[in-house]
A and B are shown apart, each in its own frame.
Chain A
């Protein structure tokens, strides 16, 4: 069966510090991968998606970036965090249009 792992579960980082969130998927190959962000009082915003290794599409311009160094690994990064980067970050994968499978999320607080 397929599983998706996201870590860390919680993170507190100072403004200006770097960020690296990692997501891995097991039990499937060549999935589409996604990073979503859920900010307090706001909906779920698609940040990046990838349909293959090294292929990244950005939905929202900002100081975050994403990379897919391996087929089932998706990384969200920032060189310098802003206060506005606080939120709940969700990784997800899909092999078809019917179901998006989400990880348990990382709660990021930038102080």
Chain B
């Protein structure tokens, strides 16, 4: 079945890079996603990557996909205090027309001034 795993916590200093990692089990997933959740709020899409890509860059965000190892990472360059949030990795099961996403447990990123 589908399963997505992430480490629970990451602490970095402001200005450093943050790398959040995720492993997934469904090798047929069409897309993989990163969502951000600020305190007490819903989730917002940060970025996504199509399964036939290895890397995607969007301003300070870099997504790396290793399909062989079923490993997804999100790198945030020049991390700011406003980046403190919970980051969720998610996958979309292939062939599922419901558009439902399977989420990981979330990684809480704390940015220290």
Q: Is there contact, CB below 8 Å, between B98 and A51?
A: yes
Looking at chain B's contact residues, the main secondary structure is loop
Looking at the complex, which one of B35, B43, B48, B100 makes contact with A46 (CB distance below 8 Å)?
Answer: B100
B residues less than 8 Å from A90 (CB atoms)? 42-43
Q: Which of A61-69, A70-78, A102-110 contacts B (4 or more CB under 8 A)?
A: A102-110
CB under 8 Å from chain A, chain B span 85-113: 88, 92, 97-106
Residues on A with beta carbons closer than 8 Å to the beta carbon of B88: 43-44
- Which of A32, A44, A97 contacts B92, CB < 8 Å? A97
Q: How many residues of B contact A (CB 8 A)?
A: 24
Compute how far the CA of A103 lies from the CA of B42 in the bound complex, rounded to whole angstroms: 6
A90 to B43, CA, bound (A): 9
By a CB distance below 8 angstroms, the chain A residues around B31 are 97-98
A46 touches B40 (CB 8 A): no
- A contact residues around B104 at 8 Å (CB): 43-44
CA distance A105 to B6 in the complex (A): 22
Residues of chain B within 8 A (CB-CB) of A32 are: 98-100
Interface status of B62 (Cβ within 8 A of chain A): no
Question: In the complex where A43-B88, A44-B106, A97-B92 touch, is A102 in contact with B44 (Cβ < 8 A)?
Answer: yes
Q: What per-residue 1/0 map shows which CB atoms of A34-45 lie under 8 Å from chain B?
A: 101000001111
CA distance A36 to B90 in the complex (A): 13
A94 at the interface (CB under 8 A from B): yes
Which listed residue (A36, A44, A45, A96) contacts B99, Cβ 8 A?
A96
Question: Which residues of B lie under 8 Å from residue A34 when comparing CB positions?
Answer: 100
- B73 interface residue, CB < 8 Å from A? no
Is B80 part of the contact surface with A, judged by Cβ < 8 Å? no
Besides A90-B43, A92-B43, 4 more A-B contacts (Cβ < 8 Å) are A43-B104, A51-B98, A100-B101, A105-B40
7 interchain pairs, CB-CB under 8 A: A49-B100, A97-B31, A100-B99, A102-B44, A104-B40, A105-B40, A105-B41
Chain A residues close to B by CB (< 8 Å)? 32, 34, 36, 42-46, 49, 51, 57, 59, 90, 92, 94, 96-100, 102-105, 107
